[in-house]
Structure 1
Amino acid sequence: MPEHTSQPDPSTGPDRGHPGPFVSLAEIRAALAGVRGHAESDTVASLLRRALPGFWATIAAEYRVRNRVVDKALDAGIRRSVVFSPDLAPLRLAHELLPAGAGWHVLYLLDDAETAVRTRIVTNCSLDPDVDWLSATPGIEQCLRSAQGIGALALDEPVCVLASTALQHTRDPHALLAGLWNVLPPGSCVMASQVPPLIPDTPAGTGLPAACAVFEHHTRTPLILRTAPEFDALCHHPHTWDTTTFGRAGTARAPVHSSPLSTSDSSLALITRVAVRPVRTPSHGLVPAYRSTRTS
């Protein structure tokens, strides 16, 4: 299977004059998840753990919720998945969770700066007809339409999108969600987890500013921490998605707006949502597990 990329990988080396170690987003996620890697990524992970205690546990919690969402999508009959920014080993890739012969297909959207991630995907998936990959540039809508054009994605049936990394590390989440809205068919679901500004065990005065500064300084990627209301607002403007929250037990439940719905793991306040593209008419036949009563 050919490797689908829109441009060659740029160098991920440090800029001249850039102080301290520089690591990629994938490298720091692996280090935060407890994977012992290069000295540089271990150093930055240590800085982040001191700046925002508890942040390290979000990767494991995110994966637990991701696995539940994938299982639920399969139960609902969704067989097409789009995954933003896959991780490095030994963190499991989404397609490894899917049973053989189930008729599923996964499209990975790759960051052109993550050469190690692309190497992992090419090495493991080149002979797998149920896996494709594309560069995530220049924009999500154009990228997914291109994927449809080359047969890597079907947009005539619901799609499950795993977008936690993309939303957590972008300053323009509205553009990302609008691009998905413009492309995804009704019944499609978008799973995203976010780290809130204050994790319960973060000492007063040591949280958000230091952690975000450390992250951006050493990765050149923003870390955007959002409260539950801020996260929910993303799914209501300019388009209104149907949303469910994953609780500690890992089951979807309807939002209760009298109090913030922010926890998906007992060890930290990881905010997790599944946003569903509403059905326009009953004839679209939204799969039961993600059924919506809203029309648009």
Structure 2
Amino acid sequence: MRTSTTRRGLAGLLAAAAAAVLGVVAAPSALAASNDEIAFDYFVGKGLTERQSAGIVGNLIQESGSPINPYANQPSGPGMGIAQWSEGGRWDTDSRDNMVWYAGLSGRSRYALAAQLDFTWYELSTFSGYGLADLRASTSVSTATTVFMQKFERCGTCATTQRIAYANDVLAKYGTGGTGGSTTETSLPVLRSGSSGAAVRTLQYLLRASGRSVTAAGSFGPATDSAVRSYQSAHGLTVDGVVGNNTWYSILPVLREGSTGEAVKGLQRELVDAGYSLTVDGSFGPATTSAVRSYQSKVGLVVDGVVGNNTWGSLVD
């Protein structure tokens, strides 16, 4: 088993430890592990092989974006958190098998990354039907990914090939033989009253997508401050009007072809700023997919046409 110090150095190890203990959701950088890497290290630390751990994380990326997002909330659906557990089921209802109950046992936030990873392991190690035995028996990334997909996620639209691709990418980046991962800047800016520019405009589109009435004009004034505080209050975040990592990760959706609405308009405006010719119409069609894939290839991200936290973080500055 490799050690994190050989790849990230002391500063990265401390950042990963803080995330594991406190459930901090940290934006990836040269000195801090992304949530994908933290999760990979977590499952390796539980005794799973690197291939088995990558299979789990590949599934979690498909479910909540990359880096995996403990605040992920399925648009118009029940999915919540890194594994998209269902509201009315494994997120908040099932007897002795729900995330809200489990986090409450230790007084942690249901949105803490560490709590969600612990709950994933609790489910795997407590309920045989979630497939831990089969996962431990798997010897390839594809088998491990498929086992977790079928027995733990029990997904509807499975996207098996994409899950396996994500898992292989995780193994290449963070496994013993990996090279570390992309150096692409994927951090998100801290915004507050008085901020201005394209990042504020994108934030305003996302606030509009959440049902709040703001103008996407790129100026962080009183109306935007009020909308941010309203959003933070409604989602269990610190209500301070400051848009840092936790607020960004909560409000950023995972977008892909077929998505529609104000968030897509925000994405399209960012892509236009990046030099792509697009109609800002709020419809994620083939032209937007092509632009996203082109952008991802250009900046060294996984080229999948899906806009998760890494792609958002690269675009928004």
TM over 0.5: no
Please, what TM-score do these two structures have when normalized by structure 1? 0.29
Structure with greater proportional helix content: 2
- More relative contact order, 1 or 2 (CA 8 Å, 6+ apart): 1
